[in-house]
Amino acid sequence: MLTSKQLRQKYLEFFKSKGHAIIPSASLIPENDPTTLFTSAGMQPMIPFLLGESHPAGKRIADSQKCFRTQDIEAVGDNRHTIFFEMLGNWSLGDYFKKEQIDWMFEFLIKEIGLDPNKLFITCFRGDAEINIPRDEEAAKLWQDKFTSIGIEAKIVDNAEEKGLQDGKIFYYDATKNWWSRAGIPEKMPIGEPGGPDSEMFWDFGSALGLHEKSLWKDQPCHVNCDCGRFMEIGNNVFMQYIRTAEGFEELKQKNIDFGGGLERIMAALNNNSDMFAIDLFTKVKNKLEELTNKKYNESEKITYAFRVILDHLRAATFLIADGAIPSNKDQGYFTRRIIRRSVRFARDLGINNNFCSEISKLYIEEYQEAYPDLIKKKDYILRELQTEEEKFRKTLEDGLKEFEKLLKGFQIAQEKTGQKITEISGKQAFKLYDTYGFPLEMTEELAKENNLIIDKKGFAEAFAKHQELSRVGAEQKFKGGLADDSEQSTKYHTATHLLLAALRHVLGADIVQKGSNITAERLRFDFNWPEKLTTEQIKAVEDLVNQKIAEKIPVTMMEMPKTEAKDIVTVRSFDLEKYGEMVKVYKISDPLAGSEQVFSAEFCGGPHVENTGVLGHFKIIKEEASSAGVRRIKAILE
């Protein structure tokens, strides 16, 4: 049986043998993309190259990408949802297409890692007459030929959602299942957005388990996209061949392959166990939790649920902190805080009343240290942040329980005055426990049940929705007009951040590095390491130096070169070199007053940038403030 470590390595080595450059995982916190908080899919860092920009490593790329999905937090606890996962990916950027991808994927799954082809099922795009995109018969036939080549009949069928499996092996589904674009189904795609049909691969855990018969869907036909749990998607081959235009859909000049496969899900298939938490990545942590709680993972449904939440959430928190998302009340840090606190809450249910998060994190760091050596480098930092947050929440948790007791006391007093028994906690009261004290609704429900009370769930949902709407509006305003729109003004601000960093290093010292940035079409925000408030003189010196470089109308040039050569050229390294592939892009702003052999700024970067600093306008710092301990934040505009 392969280990997860061996699976990851086999995948990368396999695609390397097919001419792919292996690149390191990008950070969970996207660079220069203010439209999203996290890297949630393997393709996300590849978007510029899928849209036509040349990749320094070439046209064939493969990696194992760290991913984090906030939308699945509440779903964690079942046998297949995790908010952190690794996505094995390979891309063709205008090189090979369907035949090669299907040939290689079949070879890897069946021959390389030994999955049973009888348990592998395929889905393809049904076609959409309204947008004049045909049924993907080509992909279906290619898959059928692969199964036939090893003596397996692969019947191609349609309407499985209505008629069931029908002894089929390959199934057609509509765009809600077998179409990929960033915007979703074709009708939602904006003009200029690329997308295309996809072909997904599913693993069948077998009808003998009775998963369908035990599910909510037992009275409906079972098929590969059924939610009963019998089938699990393990990978998705996207054939990115169309672009949305004002007239409809046209073929892309550059046809791409975008594959993403869940490492954990493929391991579950190798185990032939529908519980993804049974894979080896979780074994040591699961054993440690059993030791700490004196309970067994499968002892009861409630205990299993709590174990899964902790197993998933503390793994995610470990990686988030390593990538800079320290627990806080806003942005990425909010989610780090939320999942740590959720872990502590479920640990309390299991009888863990002392700090334990750092013990769990140590085991994950040990498990992943070879694939992600950054975890070892930042081990002390990660463990310290986990310890601090857990200590804070344990105090908050106790305060929340006291608040609940006060609530009960208030009910008792009101009942004595009016003679009417109070049986319900209002939605507003339940939301206060959630929002102020970090009590998930289910925790308040448990406490309520113990005291013969119910909760106004509708009122809670309304309070929660109001909170989300306020947060959404705030986020839209915050990220409005971000760098991802490739607007001229956003591009100017992106170049201005390079000038700002170089000026800060000149004024404050060469130890200054970037700690974060957020660029919109209205302003730039830049975080950097510095222990105290900048003086008026320092701010003016930085402003003057940036404006001097703008006035000098310095050319901005881009060079693609081996990383080993680039190390001698860049003037600042804001991130660890391991994150870059062997070929990198360096943006250089030459300083004509310093001689041809010297530069004012040279950084690893993906662009875009202006061609000359003279187009930027006048640079003005409008605010300088603390961002976090030891980190300052500058907001600036171009006038």
135-185 pLDDT, tens digit each: 999 999 999 999 999 999 999 999 999 999 999 999 999 999 999 987 888
Whether residue 599 contacts residue 632, with contact meaning beta carbons closer than 8 Å, is answered with no
pLDDT at 264: 97
Mean pLDDT across 35-44: 80
Same domain, 513 and 524: yes
User: How far apart (Å, rounded) are the C-alpha atoms in residues 368 and 362?
Assistant: 10
- Whether residue 66 sits in one domain with residue 172: yes
Residue 528 phi, psi (nearest 5): -150, 160
Amino acid at residue number 60: R
Flag whether 383 is in a domain.
yes
The last residue of one of the domains, among 388, 406, 422, is 422
SS3 label, residue 559: strand
Which strand (E) or helix (H) includes residue 590? strand 583-590
**What residues form DSSP beta bridges with 628?**
631
Amino acid at site 416: E
Q: Which of 485, 478, 476, 519 is nearest to 637 (CA)?
A: 519
544-551: average pLDDT: 92
How far from the centroid of its chain's Cα atoms is residue 323's Cα?
12
Residue ranges making up the domain that contains 512: 483-638
Residues 502 and 381 in one domain: no
Question: Is the separation of the CB atoms in 59 and 583 below 8 Å?
Answer: no
- Say if residue 372 is in the same domain as residue 273: no
Shortest CA distance to 243 belongs to which of 199, 190, 184, 200?
190
Percent of the chain residues topping a pLDDT of 90: 58
- 266 with 287, same domain? no
- C-alpha distances (whole Å) from 148 to each of 120, 152, 158, 168, 633 are 13, 5, 19, 14, 61
Determine, yes or no, domain membership for 460.
Answer: no
Q: Are 630 and 516 in contact (CB under 8 A)?
A: no
pLDDT at 575 over 60: no
At 576, give phi and psi (nearest 5°): -70, 140
Segment 557-568, tens digit of pLDDT = 877 777 777 776
Residue recorded with tokens 């899919």:
41
557 strand-pairing partners: 588
Question: How, if at all, do strands 454-455 and 424-425 pair?
Answer: parallel
Judged on CB neighbours under 10 Å (0-12, 13-18, 19+), 602 is buried
Q: In a 3-state reduction of DSSP, which class is residue 3?
A: coil
Domain membership of residue 441 (yes or no) is no
pLDDT at residue 437, rounded to an integer: 78
- 451 belongs to a structural domain: no
pLDDT tens-digit map of 477-526: 433 333 444 568 888 888 999 999 999 998 998 888 888 888 887 889 99
Q: What distance in Å separates the CA atoms of residue 519 and residue 492, rounded to the nearest whole number?
A: 10
Q: Single out the residue in 403, 422, 441 at which a domain terminates.
A: 422
Is 456 within the bounds of a domain? no
Residue 34 preceded by cis peptide, ω within 30: no
Phi then psi for residue 514, to 5 deg, are -75, 135
Please write the tens of the pLDDT for every residue from 360-371. Answer: 999 999 999 999
- Quick one: 364 and 244 in the same domain? no
Dihedral pair phi/psi, residue 625, rounded to 5°: -150, 170
Q: Taking the CA atoms of 542, 546, 547 and 548 in sequence, report the sign of the dihedral they define.
A: positive
The token pair at 172 is: 């057609």
Mean pLDDT of 397-408: 88
Regarding predicted confidence, which is higher, 406 or 33? Answer: 406
> At which residue do the structure tokens 């007239």 appear?
247
Tell me whether strands 60-68 and 170-173 are parallel, antiparallel or unpaired: unpaired
CB 234 within 8 A of CB 202: yes
Q: Which CATH number is 561's domain given? A: 3.30.980.10
Q: Which runs of consecutive H residues, i.e. helices, occur in 509-562? A: 536-551
In a domain, 131, yes or no: yes
Residue 475's pLDDT is what? Answer: 42
Q: Report the pLDDT averaged over residues 257-268.
A: 96
**pLDDT score, position 545:** 93
If one counts the domains in the chain, the total is: 3
Mean pLDDT of the chain: 88
- pTM for the complete prediction? 0.73
pLDDT above 70: percentage of residues in the chain = 92
pLDDT attached to residue 555: 84
For residues 250 and 339, state if they share a domain: no
What does the pLDDT read at residue 471?
52
The model's pLDDT over 434-463, given as tens digits with 9 standing for 90+, comes to 877 777 677 788 789 889 999 999 999 898
Task: Give the residue among 77, 180, 167 at the shortest CA–CA distance from 124.
Answer: 180
> Which is nearest to 434 in space by CA: 461, 408, 411, 453?
461
The top-scoring range by mean pLDDT among 26-40, 352-366, 553-567 is 352-366
In angstroms, the CA 567 to CA 577 distance is 9
Which long-range contacts does 138-145 make (Cβ < 8 Å, 24+ apart)?
Answer: 138/98, 139/98, 139/102, 139/197, 139/199, 139/237, 139/239, 140/170, 140/172, 142/98, 142/99, 142/102, 142/103, 143/102, 143/106, 143/170, 143/199, 144/169, 144/170
Q: Rounded mean pLDDT of 413-425?
A: 90
Pair 245, 291 in one domain: no
Tens-place pLDDT, residues 319-329: 999 999 999 87
- How far is the C-alpha of 491 from the C-alpha of 588, rounded, in Å? 15
Q: Is 217 exposed, middle or buried (0-12, 13-18, 19+ CB in 10 A)?
A: middle
**Do residue 304 and residue 240 come from a single domain?**
no
Answer whether residue 467 is part of any domain: no
Do 237 and 313 fall into the same domain? no
Q: Are 279 and 267 in contact (CB under 8 A)?
A: yes
Looking at the DSSP bridge assignments, the partners of residue 204 are 231
With beta carbons less than 8 A apart as the criterion, state whether 234 and 63 touch: no
Closest C-alpha among 116, 121, 129, 122 to residue 98: 122
Highest mean pLDDT among 253-257, 477-481, 567-571: 253-257
Same structural domain, 225 and 288: no
What was the pLDDT predicted at 594? 47
Is the same domain home to 613 and 544? yes
Give per-residue pLDDT as tens, 179-229: 998 788 898 888 888 899 999 999 999 987 888 888 888 889 999 999 898
Last residue of a domain, one of 255, 278, 301: 278
> Longest C-alpha distance within the chain, in Å?
88
Nearest to 317 by CA among 353, 372, 358: 358
pLDDT of residue 394: 87
| Domain presence at residue 442 | no
Q: What is the pLDDT of residue 30?
A: 84
Q: Determine the Cα–Cα distance for residues 105 and 374; give it in Å rounded to an integer.
A: 30
**Residue 384 and residue 358: Cα distance in Å, rounded?**
8
The confidence score (pLDDT) of residue 260 equals: 95
Q: Kindly report the CATH number assigned to the domain that includes residue 244.
A: 3.30.930.10
